[in-house]
Structures are given as structure tokens and as C-alpha cells.
Structure 1
Amino acid sequence: MVMARTRFVMWVFVALSLSMRMPPSVEASRDGPSSIEFYVHNPGLFTPFPNPTEVVQLAMKGSEPRPRSFKSRIITFNHAITGTHYKNSPVLGRAHGIRVVDKVGDGPLAFTWLFTASFNTSSFDGTLSFQGTTLNFPSSDFSDVAVTGGTGSFRFARGYATFTNFYRDDEISVLEGQHFQVFLRY
């Protein structure tokens, strides 16, 4: 009796394990794009005037309320994503998340990025999530972050993104945003 019950439980377990494969619609979505390129515009990031697409949520005591003061702070943002570096190019989506700025003493400036890029176009409909830390930003023009997941067209995506700073056409000193090149696998 005990042997029959054990055999029955084992067959139920095998049957359940075999039936838990992914449905075809989910398996088919693993054929998302292997790379994507976009621009995140953050107007006024390093200028003294207020920025309508980001807000300082928490700042270290004694730091100035402007983004120019590179003291420790937590910033939330919601920036436009476009296909080119021009401000008037069509909007592909939004980049929204948290940026933690950390500067202690004379040490390097570190930015920790936690954000999601939401796309709603005919080519891409879904989100990509990013996480990473960059040192000496914005002085270093090249950084990378991890792609930690995705939804929609990017379901099950993993990979990395490299990004470089781009500046206003007329002034090299005014940072306009970042140019992202994203490399994905599913």
C-alpha cells in the first residue's frame, strides 16, 4: 500500500513537472530585439535653473538646492526618450526612476541609477529596467549599467547598456542628456 501511494505521488509530480512548460505565446516573446539605441533628455541637469523633469527628494545637510552642488542627494526623474539627440525629435517613451548622487570629501563622484525606460511605439511596446553605478559622472563620458529585466517586447531581457553624454550643439559645457546603446539577450 505504501509503495503504491509513493509511486502514485511520484507520477503526479512527474506529470505536473511536464505540464509546467511555458505556453507558446511566452516562448515566442523571447525573440525580442538584440539591441536598441535611444537618447534620454534631461534638460537643465547641470544648470542653475529648475528642471521640470526631476526633483531632489533628499539632500545632504548643507548642500545647495541646485543640481550643480555635487553633494550627496537622492533625485527622482521622468525624462523624455527620443531616437535622436534633437529635442524636437519624436518621443519614443519616458525614462523614470531614481538617481543617487554620492560625494564624500575629496573622493570621486558616484551616481547610482535605478530606472525604467518605458516605450510605446509601433516598433517597441514594453519596458526595460536598468541598474548600475558610475564613477566620476559626468566627467567620464562613457559608462555602463546592467539591464535587469523587461516587459512586453523586451520580456525576459537581460544585458547591459553603455551610455555617453551628449551636449547642446552650441555649448559643449551644457550637458543635454545621455545616448544609450543597449545590448540584450533573452
Structure 2
Amino acid sequence: MAKTANVLPNHFIVFIIQLLIFSSANFIIIIPTATSAKTEKLTHLHFYYHNNIAGPRATAVPINPKIQPVDLRDPASLFGRLTIADDPLTSGPSLENSTVVGSAQGMYGSASQTEMSFAMVFNFALTQGKYKGSSFCLLGRNPIFTNPRELAIVGGTGAFRFSRGYAMLKTYYMDMQTGANTIVEYDVYIRHY
């Protein structure tokens, strides 16, 4: 009996020591240093977004075109329509006379029966300048007849990793007969490292 009593406390002590060793092996304290800490920056980007849903140069395609005809005076005529887009971004309002600085790739859907408002999910991929190869994600409600309107920046890649911010949008031009051709001015404010 005395042998068993001595063995149990020894096994218990060995078990506790192993538990402490193995649990502390996965616990690492990271102390930031001056070289590893990055300063957060605020970047302002200005460009024009060109959306064209008709003709041979269409940059956006409705994925459920059953909703016809469209009447811009009647938001209910667009309700539920989803559109996939790969729209050019330019330095100025003219597509022909401005530098293409990127593309807006994503989708928007008419999300209101009472006003012209779209739910937008887009990646803005930049192809020129300091942020070439980087992108940011835009998400939000876009009431297209409100000027200005604000949408959220909810992340990004490249220089815009861990980014957050907002975009102020103003309609520069819209074909009021068909809504097929629209130009929107963007002022984007992004916080990133």
C-alpha cells in the first residue's frame, strides 16, 4: 500500500510539469519594437467611374435581365435587378481623353422599391501610380440621385491591407433616357499602414 501512495503523487507532479511545459510552449509574448510598428496613413484618391450597360462597349451586364422595361422614374421597375461590372476608373471625366487608373470589379443590385438605390459590392483595382497593384473593397448602399453620397471602404490588398475608410460619390453624368451610361466622381479616403 505504501508503494501505491508514493507513485500517485510522483505521477501527478510529472503530469503537472508536462502540462505547464506544453501549454507555455504555445504562448508567446510579442513586444512591439520601434522598427516593427508602422504608422497609419490617410490617403485621398480622386477618380471617375464609368458604367455602361448598353452597346458594344458595355462594361456592366445585368445577370437577371428578365426585368424589362426599365423606367428611371419608377424605382420598382428596377427592384431586384443584379448587375456584374468591370468598369474603368479614369483620372478625368472623359473616358477617351483621360488616363485609365484602374477598374471597379464587382456587382450592384437594385435594393429599394421606393427610390433608386443600389447595394454595391466592389473591388477597386488600381493599375497606375503609387498604388499600382493594390486594391480596396467598397461596400454599401448607393442612393444614386443623392449628391454627395457615402459608401464604406472595408478592406483591401497590397498597400491597402487592413484598410478602412469611406468614399464620397457624386453623379457627374447620367443618361436619363436609358440610364445606360453613367459617370460618377469618387473622392476616396483610406486609412492604411
**Structure 2 length-normalised TM:** 0.73
Q: Kindly tell me: are residues 54 and 161 of structure 1, through their superposed partners in 2, closer, same or farther at Cα, counting changes over 3 Å?
A: same
How many residue pairs align between the two structures? 169
Counterparts of 2:99 and 2:168, CA distance in 1 = 22
Of 71, 75, 78 in structure 2, the residue corresponding to residue 71 of structure 1 is: 78
The answer on whether the counterparts of 1:41 and 1:177 sit within 8 Å (CA) in structure 2 is yes
- State the secondary structure of the residue aligned to 1:3: helix
State whether structure 2 residue 88 is matched by structure 1 residue 80: yes
Q: Could you say which structure has the larger radius of gyration?
A: 2
Residues 32 and 153 of structure 1: CA distance in aligned 2, closer, same or farther (over 3 Å): farther
CA distance in 2, matches of 1:38, 1:14: 47
1:98-109 matches, within 5 Å, as 98-104=107-113, 107-109=114-116
Identify which range, 4-13 or 87-96, moves more after superposition: 4-13
Distance, in Å, in 1 between the alignment partners of 2:142 and 2:51 is 17
2:46 pairs with 1:37:
yes
Cα pair distance change 1:79/1:67, threshold 3 Å? farther
Change (3 A) 1:60 1:109: farther
Which ranges in structure 2 are unaligned for 5 or more consecutive residues? 1-13
- CA gap of 1:40–1:165, structure 2 versus 1, over 3 A, is same
1:156 Cα deviation after fit: 1.2
- How far is the alpha carbon of 1:67 from its aligned partner? 7.8
For the residues of structure 2 that align with 1:154 and 1:33, how far apart are their CA atoms? 11
Residue 117 of structure 1: aligned partner:
124
Partner of 2:19: 6
- State TM-score, norm by structure 1: 0.75
Query: CA deviation digits over 1:116-153, x for unaligned, max 9?
Result: 11002231121111110123x2x222211111111112
Q: Specify the SS of the correspondent of 1:141.
A: coil
**1-structure distance, mates of 2:116, 2:176:** 20
SS across alignment from 2:26:
helix
SS of the equivalent of 1:14 reads: coil
RMSD: 3.1
For residues 35 and 56 of structure 1, do their structure 2 counterparts lie closer, same or farther at Cα, with a shift above 3 Å needed? same
Distance 1:114 1:14 in 2: 38
From 89, 94, 102, the counterpart of 2:98 = 89
Question: Is residue 165 of structure 2 the alignment partner of residue 152 of structure 1?
Answer: no
Q: Secondary structure at the match of 2:17?
A: helix
Give me the identity figure in percent. 20
State the Cα deviation string for residues 27-49 of structure 1 (Å, max 9, x = none).
65x75652212111124x5xx75
1:164 Cα offset (Å): 0.6
Q: Measure the CA separation in 1 of the matches of 2:30 and 2:129.
A: 36
